[in-house]
Amino acid sequence: MTLLIQTLIQGISLGSIYALIALGYTMVYGIAKMLNFAHGDIIMVGAYTIYSTIALAHFPGWLGVLSAVVFCGVLGVVIEFLAYKPLRGAPSLNVLITAIGVSYLLQNIALLIFEGKQKAMPLGDFDFPDLKVGNTGITVTGEVIFTITLTVVLMIALTLFINKTKMGKAMRAVSEDKDAARLMGINVNRTISVTFAIGSILAAFASLCYGMSYAYIKPTTGSMPGIKAFTAAVFGGIGSIPGAMLGGFVIGILEKLSSAYISTQFTDAIVFGVLIVMLVVRPTGLLGKKIREKV
């Protein structure tokens, strides 16, 4: 019982990281109708930004996070502007290949600057105390508490932004019907930029949480969480924001459960297997939906 509860908590924590990344995939897909395969590498960029600010420039931890947030946000917008915007209206395969190219580009730039050897994340400022739950034998680590709390706060903020603000509503309008949105006077290009900025900022926070749990980074650090988060986005229903949140938690919990109870070697196979089953049974994902227009 203790093991189960511990595993579930760890799963929620890992799932939080996936959910933060999955939100970027799903929002970009919803609005620009593209799979931004370079999104996972933004986590790696965020992690190196934190590393550089804290370990190389000797700034305090909070400034490291702030610079990652700003740098990733700007980078997301710049990538969209330089790599994807010129392809607006091009076949989706062209855009997909470009995104894969951007992914390799980011990884190789990191390799050039930081070399392949892994670096320790200097997150001493984020060393929070563990929580022992009574005498149940359950311990929740400080980084787990921090990760889950931060994720919940960011999700609430995002939900409020999407549902209550003018820009958030415009983003929903664009994701539903681009031409109709243009007829409302909405600048579609600007909403796409804002979407990339938000997705990348969430990824920067994910890189902090990832760094707290895994401690080391290298240029390919973003790939695996990126793919898992993409799986989560598809599982939840790509384009759906609550879907990405739910999908992230489901994949995180599934991963931790299967490594605790089945085998760590089969974890990835199980996660992707569940995705495939999901796509066969319900191709739109858990919360993906299509409402038909009435005539």
Partner 1 sequence: MLKVENLNVYYGNIHAIHDVSFEVKEGEIVSLIGANGAGKTTTMHTVSGLLRSRTGSVTFMGKNISHTEAHKIVNMGIAQVPEGRHVFLQMTVEENLQMGAYTTPKTLKEDLEKVYALFPRLLERRKQVAGTLSGGEQQMLAMGRAMMSRPKLILLDEPSMGLAPILVDQVFSIIKELHAAGITVLLVEQNAGKALAISDRAYVLETGRIVLAGTGAELAASPEIKKAYLGG
Are the C-beta atoms of residues 223 and 80 closer than 8 Å to each other?
no
Farthest CA pair distance, the chain: 63
Task: Please name the amino acid found at residue 113.
Answer: I
Taking the complex as a whole, the smallest distance from the CB of residue 286 to partner 1 amounts, in Å, to 17
- 188 part of the interface to partner 1, by CB under 8 A: yes
3-state secondary structure of 217: strand
Q: How far apart are CA 23 and CA 173, in angstroms?
A: 17
Q: How far apart are CA 145 and CA 13, in angstroms?
A: 8
- From 12, 20, 32, 170, residue interacting with partner 1 (rule: CB under 8 A): 170
Residue with tokens 């999407």: 162
Q: How far apart are CA 111 and CA 50, in angstroms?
A: 16
Stretch that binds partner 1, among 47-55, 176-184, 224-232, 241-249 (CB under 8 A): 176-184
**x/- site string to partner 1, residues 10 to 29, per CB under 8 A?**
--------------------
- 58 part of the interface to partner 1, by CB under 8 A: no
User: Which C-beta is closer to partner 1: that of 102 or that of 241?
Assistant: 241
Q: Under rule CB under 8 A, how many of the chain's residues touch partner 1?
A: 21
- 187 part of the interface to partner 1, by CB under 8 A: yes
Residue with tokens 């707290």: 212
Give the Å distances, CA to CA, from 259 to 30, 40, 134, 142: 32, 23, 26, 22
- 89 part of the interface to partner 1, by CB under 8 A: no
Q: How far apart are CA 33 and CA 46, in angstroms?
A: 24
User: Which C-beta is closer to partner 1: that of 130 or that of 176?
Assistant: 176
Taking the complex as a whole, the smallest distance from the CB of residue 164 to partner 1 amounts, in Å, to 10
User: Which C-beta is closer to partner 1: that of 187 or that of 263?
Assistant: 187
Stretch that binds partner 1, among 38-46, 99-107, 178-186, 243-251 (CB under 8 A): 178-186
CB atoms within 10 A of CB 249: 23
Q: How far apart are CA 137 and CA 97, in angstroms?
A: 49
**x/- site string to partner 1, residues 232 to 271, per CB under 8 A?**
----------------------------------------
- From 43, 173, 202, 287, residue interacting with partner 1 (rule: CB under 8 A): 173
Binding site for partner 1 (CB under 8 A): 166, 169-170, 172-173, 176-177, 179-188, 291, 293-295
